Amino acid sequence: MVTLVRVSVRLAARGDVESVLSLYYGFYRELRGRQGWPLGGVEEYRRDVERFLERDRVFLAFLEGRAAGFARLSEREGAYWLEELYVAPEYRGLGIGRRLVEEAEEYVRGRAPALYVMVLPQDGAAIRFWIHMGYRILNTVELVKDLEEPEGEETRLLEFFGYPLRIWRWRREEYDDVEREYLEALDEFYRLGGTRELYLKLAVEALRRWIE
């Protein structure tokens, strides 16, 4: 059995373009497959890799000399963001993702007071991973105004302070039974004319009953 002690992590250099490109493309191939969205050819991603190797810090994990995963760290106006974290499927379960995050955190420590991550709300596994790593949900609400009638838009309803919050439906979703029951009930609530004020009232009443 392969053990974690054989894993090494270092900063990627220009000569690592092919290794990083393979992992970066794997990241998007998996993501687009789950979303049900089209994926371009691998060469379409090469320019992105070349650019961020020049601009950002990319941590590469190796297992017995083979590139197994990567994490990309960027800096914007003094804030550090972990942009992508990916471990090839055959190397998962060995703690490589955790090791990459720890390397990024060590780099940021002393340079900034926090490290930020952006996660899509549909990606429950990623959210659970980051919470397990000690991260907390903070800020960010994305708004859109349709200037043309959207075609074939498939979304799910969540809520934010009672406001309907729409997220894209993915081809492969990872909701547990309770989450699915919540989504179905929420969709029915708004479909039947439920309002923000009513939602907040019901939520407050339920919370107070539980507290008591």
Q: Is 71 in the same domain as 171?
A: no
In a domain, 19, yes or no: yes
Domain that holds residue 202: 155-211
The mean pLDDT value for 103-124 works out to: 95
| C-alpha 74: how far from chain center | 15
Q: Is 182 in the same domain as 97?
A: no
Angle between helices 46-55 and 17-35 (to 10 degrees): 120
- Specify the number of domains making up the chain: 2
Q: Is 14 in the same domain as 101?
A: yes
In a domain, 150, yes or no: no
Express each pLDDT in 168-198 by its tens digit. 889 888 889 999 999 999 999 999 999 999 9
Supply 210's token pair.
């539980």
Distance CA 115, CA 28 (A): 23
Distance CA 118, CA 106 (A): 19
Q: State the pLDDT confidence band at 1, using cuts at 50, 70 and 90.
A: very low
The enclosing domain of 85 has a CATH number of 3.40.630.30
Express each pLDDT in 39-97 by its tens digit. 999 999 999 999 999 999 999 999 989 999 999 999 999 999 999 999 999 999 999 99
Domain boundary among 98, 132, 166: 132
Q: Is 11 in the same domain as 47?
A: yes
In a domain, 181, yes or no: yes
The model carries a pTM of 0.81
Q: Which of 125, 105, 129, 124 is nearest to 116 (CA)?
A: 105
Higher per-residue confidence, 154 vs 132: 132
